[in-house]
Chain A
Amino acid sequence: MVTAGRPEGLAGQPAGQPAPESTVDDVWRVAGQVRDPELPVLTLADLGVLRDVRVTGDGRVAVTITPTYSGCPALDEMRADLRASLVRAGYRDVDVRVVLHPPWTTDWISERGRRALAEHGIAPPGRVGPRPAGPVPLNLAPPSAVVRCPRCGSPRTTELSRFGATACKALRRCADCREPFEHLKEI
Chain B
Amino acid sequence: MDNQDGSVYAVLGEQTDEDGRWAFGTGFHDPLSGVDRAVPAGVDRADLAAYCLMLGDDALVLSQRLAEWCSRAPELEEDVAMANIALDLLGQARLLLTRAGEVEGAGRDEDALAYFRDEHEFRNVRLAEIDCGPGPGGDFATTIARLLVFSSWRLALFSRLAAGSADPVLAAVAAKGVKELAYHRDHAAQWTLRLGDGTEHSHARMRAGLDRVWPFVDELFTPHEVEQRLAGQGIAVDPAELRSEVDGVLDVVLDRAGLSRPALPGLPGPAGRLGRDGVHTEAMGYLLAELQHLARAMPGARW
Contact = CB atoms under 8 A, between A and B. Distances in A.
Contact of B253 (A72, A74, A138): A138
The residue in A72, A81, A136, A164 that gathers the most chain B C-beta atoms within 10 A of its C-beta is A136
Contact of A98 (B6, B16, B35): B35
Contacts of B178: 103, 131, 136
B141 to A, nearest CB: 17
A39 B90 contact: no
User: Chain B's interface: helix, strand, loop or mixed, by majority?
Assistant: helix
Contact of A74 (B9, B11, B24): B24
Given A102-B175, A139-B186, A162 B35 contact: no
Interface in A1-30: 1-6
Chain B, interface size category, equals 35 or more
A33 B89 CA distance: 31
A145 interface: no
Given A74-B24, A76-B25, A161-B77, A69 B180 contact: yes
Contacts of A99: 35, 172
A140 B180 contact: no
25 contacts: A2-B14, A3-B16, A6-B16, A37-B21, A41-B11, A67-B91, A69-B87, A69-B91, A71-B89, A76-B29, A77-B24, A84-B17, A97-B35, A98-B33, A100-B35, A100-B172, A104-B176, A136-B178, A136-B185, A138-B189, A140-B193, A142-B190, A163-B80, A171-B77, A187-B180
Interface of A: 1-6, 35, 37, 39-41, 64, 67, 69-77, 79-81, 84, 95-105, 116, 119-122, 131, 133, 135-136, 138-140, 142, 160-165, 167, 171, 187
